[in-house]
Structure 1
């Protein structure tokens, strides 16, 4: 089994961090906003399903230089350089949340290298002005202070911090939603927050343009929740109406976090079904 963790590659545009492990067909994972090398939204288990998992940190995250992708089109070219370095011809791509435009760009600009594209609660439209202003305030120059404060409070008052964060992720009543979470679900959110860091990546995320999705040639699976406050379901409908070959799977989740809760196993099964088609 391959196991290459936190490797740095000096590309034409700068340093890119990636990890690569497992055997079998390669799945390329682009993690979402605020996610680091240590954030696992359950995708690492794909290696136990007979796949190789290649995780490439996007520009501004971990050790990947911003210069590798001032735009998603430029970063798509950088990703191809990584694939060439590893001798990988084609990949199935999973794009999570804010990484949606990155997955789209790779499929649009390098169709010959993308077998399938899975969009998981993934962004398909430009950020609204209000959301941009809030993001710049919290995750701009002071993002380290913000996350240091969050992680300190998380150790002392985890319930309070998790509820505060859930307010931005669900359209449901936060108290009711939290009460319904299992201990494993709460641990998932705790670990997600404990490993989060925006770096210089999220400030890039909120300003990325969306490539022309009508040019995507690969089959696309979009998995979205109607109760996602962070990425509205309208973005799922936009994806479905624009991409030539697209299936939207309605996740019966109460939040943006489709990887936990009563529908998590259905999400897992649907992902595997699509990959094996």
Structure 2
């Protein structure tokens, strides 16, 4: 997906974003390994439903700065500054994976600007234990991958299925059961992590906040919220999604039986659910 991004100044430094599509504005916040490009990728099917997708790069990703306080709460405030720049008063806000933390903080800190909240495969530590446990060897390998363009490029071409299973937390056997368009989407999500070196700081920050106990009062969120996960997500977000749904007063929960962390095979179905939820602004 070739898209030109823009860079604006905020109280937290430079913030990169891109926009695509026509219709009502919709803020799509990317997950770990992303940037504005992944946000547009996640929002592509929603865009086809008649929305203008606004996709920022979070702190430490691509051209966005890394402030002294790179917390999800500060990221939410930076996103409010982006809306000020764009002249947008209120819109639906979606966050995928580690981006769900910033999306939830936005709904909590700027409720008058968030018409609907969508949390996709939310990577939040709500139990005091990191749901993703690595052995020391696995952590060494992952850290090497996430700090080296060369190693990532080599392994993404030599063993793409293994990276889909580990970094994208999705059973690669699902690739044989889904459409060509969905197989291509998985390949592009993996490919668009490159260049890793332009995303390393953001990914390490995500690892810290997604693995640490989440500092957020979900019970205080009053925005109508859609929470989505898959039972076979290897990052364990189905359990997290259930906890979130129990804590937010106005919530709709969707747990797909399969699809992994990138909801493989569910993209069009999910876009239908999101569009219906947003347009109804309720459960």
TM range (shorter): 0.7 to 0.9
Q: Deviations over 1:56-115 (max 9, x none)?
A: 111111111111751111121111111111111001001001111101110111111110
1:265 matched residue in structure 2 = 268
Q: 1:185 aligns with which of 161, 182, 185?
A: 182
1:220 matched residue in structure 2 = 225
Q: 1:236 aligns with which of 223, 238, 241?
A: 241
Which structure 2 segments of 5+ residues have no match?
Answer: none
Q: 1:88 to 1:139 in 2, by over 3 A?
A: farther
Q: Distance in 2 between matches of 1:15 and 1:132?
A: 36
Contact preservation (8 Å) 1:33, 1:98: yes
Deviation at 1:23, TM superposition (A): 3.2
Deviation at 1:170, TM superposition (A): 5.3
2:207 matched residue in structure 1 = 206
Q: Distance in 2 between matches of 1:193 and 1:133?
A: 24
Deviation at 1:199, TM superposition (A): 2.2
The TM-score with structure 2 as length reference comes to 0.83
Deviation at 1:45, TM superposition (A): 3.9
Q: 1:21 to 1:164 in 2, by over 3 A?
A: closer
Contact preservation (8 Å) 2:26, 2:52: yes
1:111 matched residue in structure 2 = 111
1:63-74 alignment to 2 at 5 Å?
63-67=63-67, 70-74=70-74
Deviation at 1:249, TM superposition (A): 1.0
Q: 1:60 to 1:48 in 2, by over 3 A?
A: same
Judge which range, 4-13 or 123-132, deviates more: 123-132
1:28-43 alignment to 2 at 5 Å?
28-39=27-38, 40-43=40-43
Q: Distance in 2 between matches of 1:93 and 1:124?
A: 17
1:78-89 alignment to 2 at 5 Å?
78-89=78-89
Q: Distance in 1 between matches of 2:134 and 2:106?
A: 25
Contact preservation (8 Å) 2:59, 2:70: yes
Q: 1:141 to 1:168 in 2, by over 3 A?
A: closer
Contact preservation (8 Å) 2:93, 2:118: yes
Q: Distance in 2 between matches of 1:79 and 1:68?
A: 16
Q: Distance in 2 between matches of 1:133 and 1:59?
A: 27
Deviation at 1:135, TM superposition (A): 8.5
Deviation at 1:216, TM superposition (A): 0.8
3-state SS, counterpart of residue 107 of structure 2:
helix
Q: 1:38 to 1:72 in 2, by over 3 A?
A: closer
1:52 matched residue in structure 2 = 52
Q: 1:56 to 1:167 in 2, by over 3 A?
A: closer
The TM-score with structure 1 as length reference comes to 0.85
Judge which range, 265-274 or 46-55, deviates more: 46-55
Contact preservation (8 Å) 2:145, 2:152: no
Judge which range, 97-106 or 208-217, deviates more: 208-217
Q: Distance in 2 between matches of 1:108 and 1:20?
A: 24
Q: Distance in 1 between matches of 2:201 and 2:65?
A: 9
Q: Distance in 2 between matches of 1:32 and 1:188?
A: 15
Q: 1:234 to 1:195 in 2, by over 3 A?
A: same
